[in-house]
Chain A
């Protein structure tokens, strides 16, 4: 037992922990908070899918309008129609979860392909790809999405395809820069000297060994952006329509009661948006500092 009863000063000195000697405390906290949020979103999404909710999100309770949190059996209170806010928040995750994944996968796939083409082969192809990325970057994302809504219909999957395409330049630039950086390294030179196929070098040595972290980071940040976009659009009335809940339309419909002093129905979803996007952004930046810039300590 002697071994474990060392002085509290020694135990309390957290900077001696191996993890903390390697990484900054702030980054570890960011990642921990981010992972917590991701887990929360995942669990809530699954609960919502199987209808394991505290209340029916559409159930109107006229006797208990705009109840404060933790009253009358409603953990987060009720909205202006007496519907349970917690259940509506959980179901609201469905509005962005799968569409967001679609947008991320389009950005990542397109970004990887274009990034490799311009970073590994370069030349004329690079000029064309730079033109394409500049072209996509010339469109304000939300305005382009309004154009697509005018042309087709306000369908979240169309919107997320556009969102995915507008996310391609960021990923492509990151991958291309990474490849240009790696190209000076001796292991790529060695692989070339060994006569390895370009396919092996690209997929194994570049993508799998060296771009995994970068892609995870981009996916995390992309999810944050997707949530911001979906909530903005459903706030504007182009996303999920009432009575089906999404966080954006919950803020919007609660806003009418905001000016009367009933803050909670629109503040609860706004806080959900804030904490979730914060989680994804902190996770991405924390992972970036830990996995990519190993300058930390």
Chain B
């Protein structure tokens, strides 16, 4: 029996969605286990100095809901997360969910913007060197540049960008400052986006994989046929030579870009997830860091889900695993 293409796509997508949910459950469990295994709990810093006796501390813990069995704690936390309640921050006493939402929008802006920057730089280079530049004189410097950029410490690149924007363009690109002075504030935010896009080390990977794929596709028979009959080579090579490799590499690099975002946010004082995670790691603020890891993992899974959707719509029979 030959299933209709649409049916196969829906089946595959439902399977992917199920897998993503399973993986996110796994992520939540790992996060919980790591924090459960930690010496002391989130309230130990708060309570050790404040209450002298063990009984008093135990009483407070019971009131805060710590004294359950481990699976009780896990499920009550998980149910809270599913209903949008990430707990309250130990440091600020505010609910995590609202702040997490704002902060993750900022990080989303930073990472999506930096991906665009990466693609604007990498795709032309890769296309040019796969279609025209088989000579060493063109491809070698570009390859070398890719290697150097991916080895460059992104925090140092950030300082250079700050220095250049202060001395040459006469503005101070720190997000916390720029957002208060509203006029053209978004212009200042371009600097961190550029730094992350250029310095996260994704450029060289995109160039490398795109060049390989494009060269392979250009040598395929159907592209030769298209060329022979005068049809658009570009249209024939676009899906397999550009769309698939780009979505694949970007989806697989999301964790890496989010890691880079932690550092760039620190350099520029960008109020995003990375900076919040850094603060939470210093304060042992468990509810905050738990929420951040979950949201970050959800971003990663969402990216790979989108990649699968693109893949399934391009390749109707879903042959690519």
| Contacts from A to B (Cβ < 8 Å) | 26, 131, 134-135, 137-144, 146-152, 154, 224, 228, 231-232, 235-236, 238, 248, 251-252, 255, 258-259, 266-267, 270, 273-275, 277-278, 281-282
CA distance A139 to B39 in the complex (A): 22
Beyond A134-B23, A274-B153, A281-B150, whether A258 also contacts B258 by CB under 8 A is no
What are 6 residue pairs bridging A and B, where the CB atoms are less than 8 Å apart in the complex?
Answer: A151-B286, A232-B263, A248-B153, A255-B155, A274-B152, A281-B151
A143 touches which of B24, B35, B284, B292 (Cβ 8 Å): B292
Say whether B249 faces chain A, with CB atoms less than 8 Å apart. no
Beyond A135-B26, A142-B262, A143-B292, whether A232 also contacts B277 by CB under 8 A is no
> A134–B19 contact, CB under 8 A?
yes
> Which B residues are in CB contact (< 8 Å) with A232?
153, 155, 259, 263
> Which A residues are in CB contact (< 8 Å) with B266?
235-236
Q: Of all chain A residues, which has the CB nearest B139?
A: A26
Beyond A143-B262, A258-B159, A258-B163, whether A273 also contacts B153 by CB under 8 A is yes
> B27–A266 contact, CB under 8 A?
no
> A259–B281 contact, CB under 8 A?
no
Say whether B116 faces chain A, with CB atoms less than 8 Å apart. no
Beyond A26-B140, A143-B258, A232-B263, whether A149 also contacts B148 by CB under 8 A is no
> B27–A138 contact, CB under 8 A?
yes
CA distance A131 to B38 in the complex (A): 25
> A278–B166 contact, CB under 8 A?
no
B255 touches which of A137, A154, A267 (Cβ 8 Å): A137
Beyond A146-B262, A146-B281, A231-B153, whether A139 also contacts B163 by CB under 8 A is no
> A266–B293 contact, CB under 8 A?
no
A135 touches which of B23, B166, B259 (Cβ 8 Å): B23
CA distance A131 to B39 in the complex (A): 29
Partner-contacting stretch, out of B7-15, B63-71, B124-132, B294-302: B294-302
> B31–A147 contact, CB under 8 A?
yes
Beyond A142-B262, A232-B155, A236-B263, whether A152 also contacts B38 by CB under 8 A is yes
The B21-45 residues at the A interface (CB cut-off 8 A) are 22-24, 26-27, 30-31, 34-35, 37-39
> B281–A270 contact, CB under 8 A?
no
CA distance A194 to B200 in the complex (A): 51
> B156–A266 contact, CB under 8 A?
yes
> A140–B296 contact, CB under 8 A?
yes
CA distance A138 to B29 in the complex (A): 13
> B255–A150 contact, CB under 8 A?
no
Q: Of all chain B residues, which has the CB nearest A271?
A: B156
> Which A residues are in CB contact (< 8 Å) with B207?
none
> Which B residues are in CB contact (< 8 Å) with A266?
156, 159
Q: For the complex formed, measure the closest distance between the CB of A242 and the CB atoms of chain B, giving whole angstroms.
A: 16
> Which A residues are in CB contact (< 8 Å) with B136?
26
Beyond A138-B297, A139-B27, A281-B151, whether A147 also contacts B289 by CB under 8 A is yes
Q: Of all chain B residues, which has the CB nearest A280?
A: B151
Beyond A138-B301, A259-B163, whether A150 also contacts B289 by CB under 8 A is yes
> Which B residues are in CB contact (< 8 Å) with A140?
254-256, 258-259, 296-297, 300
Say whether B280 faces chain A, with CB atoms less than 8 Å apart. yes
Q: For the complex formed, measure the closest distance between the CB of A12 and the CB atoms of chain B, giving whole angstroms.
A: 18
> B278–A139 contact, CB under 8 A?
no
| Contacts from B to A (Cβ < 8 Å) | 19, 22-24, 26-27, 30-31, 34-35, 37-39, 136, 140, 143, 147-148, 150-153, 155-156, 159, 162-163, 166, 252, 254-256, 258-259, 262-263, 266, 273-274, 277-278, 280-281, 283-286, 289-290, 292-293, 296-297, 300-301
> Which B residues are in CB contact (< 8 Å) with A251?
153, 155-156
> Which A residues are in CB contact (< 8 Å) with B152?
270, 274
> A270–B26 contact, CB under 8 A?
no
> A238–B281 contact, CB under 8 A?
yes
Beyond A131-B26, A138-B300, whether A149 also contacts B151 by CB under 8 A is no
> Which A residues are in CB contact (< 8 Å) with B296?
139-140, 143
> Which B residues are in CB contact (< 8 Å) with A26?
136, 140, 143
Beyond A142-B258, A278-B148, A282-B147, whether A151 also contacts B156 by CB under 8 A is no
CA distance A134 to B251 in the complex (A): 13
CA distance A274 to B160 in the complex (A): 15
> Which B residues are in CB contact (< 8 Å) with A228?
151, 153
Q: Of all chain B residues, which has the CB nearest A142?
A: B259
CA distance A94 to B284 in the complex (A): 28
> A148–B34 contact, CB under 8 A?
yes
Q: Of all chain B residues, which has the CB nearest A152?
A: B38
B166 touches which of A139, A147, A151, A259 (Cβ 8 Å): A259
CA distance A224 to B204 in the complex (A): 15
CA distance A148 to B39 in the complex (A): 12
Q: For the complex formed, measure the closest distance between the CB of B154 and the CB atoms of chain A, giving whole angstroms.
A: 8
B39 touches which of A152, A224, A231 (Cβ 8 Å): A152
CA distance A282 to B143 in the complex (A): 11
| Further contacts, 8 of them, CB under 8 A, given A135-B26, A139-B30 | A135-B27, A139-B300, A141-B255, A146-B262, A147-B277, A151-B284, A238-B281, A270-B152
Q: Which 7 A-B pairs have the closest CB atoms?
A: A142-B259, A151-B38, A270-B156, A140-B258, A277-B151, A140-B255, A278-B151
Q: Of all chain A residues, which has the CB nearest B29?
A: A135
CA distance A132 to B301 in the complex (A): 14
